[in-house]
Structure 1
């Protein structure tokens, strides 16, 4: 996405020899992209099946934000990867920019940016839930939550619209190194730096500040409870097990991509082939890691997923399901979760519970 394109004139090989030379690497790259796309799609479909229904401990607004994140992550596997693989099959390495590449590059940049904005809005919502639990219903109303989600999805297309215009200020070429239609940010360094100032840096600042404050609050709470010998050992590292991996995965996946973009814009030269491939596709792996850190670590999510599997097995094979699980217990848990989710008092506490159960320790 944010790297310079490979210039065919840089090679001394003929066009035919160049294509034969790239073929083994291309097969490996296509295989990696397909495997990553399948993992992202399957993981987010499982997440979507769960959070479209009520999950105990998750507020209504939390579900809205997590649905938005799941949709953005799913777009990696359902939109970004198929489009770029399709273009890589249609285009010859010697072809120049065209309208199709501009549209694909615009889709790539929009999905990447929307994912970052969505992660930032989730961090903001959880920050408010932890530090302003009593004011949460008035501060984070349903309308405001939906407006934040709409901003995360609508502002990136507006900001990145110049990429979609053939012959505009941003040149777009197909990169044989990353198998992606890449904007040539080196042709307009000012615009590329503007994108980082409006997308990566603001989102990173919001996520870092909000999650760091939440982590510090959890640490103080843990020390206070430990002082009075009322902290449970099983809950001592809840914040560390969620917040630290989330931030580590975010910076690991996105920082190399942004660094390559700034390097290309400033220096005007491209990074090595495999470095370009890794930094361009590494952010998509964040779409799979989000499934783990935001969902599978959560016990309520795992319980609800097992319940959905039980219900699916009961529909497909009632005899087998009856011998393996107790359906009455599952139905009781399901009804209890639905009723609790509709309770206004639980709505307030669940918004806090979804933030790593920080305040529920008391």
Structure 2
């Protein structure tokens, strides 16, 4: 009888531990899902605002510039509209106790493609900025409409080609669903060579191009700023465009992407995964770059903010004139609106640089 009682107590104790563990896992899962949803909403809303502006002309942004920035906005929007919904759907509706299936392979392919396209697009923008600053007279001939669209096509078509083995179950690539990061990932322990080769073909080339191009532009801007300080005095010290744009862009890029790549290499070489929350953070951290790009590439720019305010005024007046008058959104003088329209349609800027902040780097003199 005592043995029976001991067994029943032991079973109850084990059940309570299992229930507590289950509740703990559900709590962590809910927190992770909430973080992903909030991040996805921020990325989507930020890039919708960007699309409203760059689909029209903005002062200082050439046609090629808008093409590259539209490509970046599309790649960033894919984080919130494709990557996050797919992985949340898989994590909430599928049971992966028996292993991966064809759906997980497709989701992993979409994840890797969007991540890679975003890196290639950032590298293309850095290259375009480099040409605009150091070869302004050859800018129109080097970055013609055809060449610009070709670079954008390469940024979107090369990643699917490199990652083509992933969506096919039973191929050389193994995919599993990670309960730690809620993402369909490659099994890095069994795909060491492929994982490392993709890192060498995608992350490192893009990082080298971005670092070299932005560093050269920053040094050129610094030399110009020193000359202005020498000949114009302290009045020109406020024109520190490079530190205000290029430094945050590169800092955000390496902060968001380096931990993910480091964890990928560690998993591939060691065959073991990092702790649960570290894996969640490093896997989803690159998606936050899709929101930070909206700030560093767009909202810092004065011309962008002016155009966005003008668009908001027009939308408010068109949708709800009475509310717009009540909130004072239509108090802008006619002279300001006309000057803003003329400034945005100025064709002189069509042959300069990618972003108006970059355009001013070598034109301050």
Structure 2 length normalisation: TM-score? 0.91
Residue 105 of structure 1 and its aligned partner are, at CA, apart by: 0.4
Retained in 1: the 8 A contact 2:76–2:118? yes
Residue 86 of structure 1 and its aligned partner are, at CA, apart by: 0.2
Structure 2: distance between partners of 1:136 and 1:143: 13
- 1:79 aligned to 79, 82, 85, which one? 82
Retained in 2: the 8 A contact 1:314–1:321? yes
Structure 2: distance between partners of 1:293 and 1:21: 38
* Residue of structure 2 equivalent to 1:138: 141
* Residue of structure 2 equivalent to 1:298: 301
Retained in 2: the 8 A contact 1:352–1:359? no
Q: List aligned pairs for 1:138-287, cutoff 5 A.
A: 138-229=141-232, 232-233=235-236, 235-287=238-290
Residue 273 of structure 1 and its aligned partner are, at CA, apart by: 0.3
Look up the SS of the partner of 1:187 in the other structure: coil
Structure 2: distance between partners of 1:79 and 1:231: 49
- 1:25 aligned to 23, 28, 48, which one? 28
Structure 1: distance between partners of 2:105 and 2:130: 38
Residue 169 of structure 1 and its aligned partner are, at CA, apart by: 1.1
C-alpha spacing 1:296/1:353, structure 2 compared with 1 (3 Å): closer
C-alpha spacing 1:63/1:354, structure 2 compared with 1 (3 Å): farther
User: How many residues are matched?
Assistant: 348
Structure 2: distance between partners of 1:76 and 1:112: 8
- Are 1:47 and 2:50 an aligned pair? yes
Q: Extract unaligned runs of 5+ from structure 1.
A: 1-11
- 2:102 aligned to 96, 99, 103, which one? 99
Whichever of the two has the greater Rg, that structure is: 2
Residue 57 of structure 1 and its aligned partner are, at CA, apart by: 1.1
**1:30-51 CA distance string (max 9 Å, x none):** 0000000000000000001010
Residue 226 of structure 1 and its aligned partner are, at CA, apart by: 0.9
C-alpha spacing 1:24/1:240, structure 2 compared with 1 (3 Å): same
C-alpha spacing 1:16/1:186, structure 2 compared with 1 (3 Å): farther
Retained in 1: the 8 A contact 2:127–2:210? yes
Structure 2: distance between partners of 1:27 and 1:247: 32
Structure 1 length normalisation: TM-score? 0.91
Q: Extract unaligned runs of 5+ from structure 2.
A: 1-13
Retained in 2: the 8 A contact 1:352–1:358? no
- Are 1:311 and 2:311 an aligned pair? no
Residue 185 of structure 1 and its aligned partner are, at CA, apart by: 1.9
**1:161-197 CA distance string (max 9 Å, x none):** 1111101111111111000111112202111110011
Structure 2: distance between partners of 1:231 and 1:249: 30
**1:201-258 CA distance string (max 9 Å, x none):** 0000000000000000000000011111257446432110100000000000000000
Structure 1: distance between partners of 2:68 and 2:18: 48
**1:72-106 CA distance string (max 9 Å, x none):** 00000000000000000122242301000000000
* Residue of structure 1 equivalent to 2:72: 69
4+ long deviations beyond 3 Å: 12-21, 230-235, 319-324, 349-354
Structure 2: distance between partners of 1:21 and 1:168: 36
Structure 2: distance between partners of 1:44 and 1:339: 23
C-alpha spacing 1:330/1:96, structure 2 compared with 1 (3 Å): farther
Retained in 1: the 8 A contact 2:180–2:279? yes
- Are 1:326 and 2:329 an aligned pair? no
Look up the SS of the partner of 1:162 in the other structure: coil
Structure 2: distance between partners of 1:352 and 1:161: 34
Worse-superposed segment, 165-174 or 25-34: 165-174
- 1:128 aligned to 128, 131, 148, which one? 131
Look up the SS of the partner of 1:182 in the other structure: strand
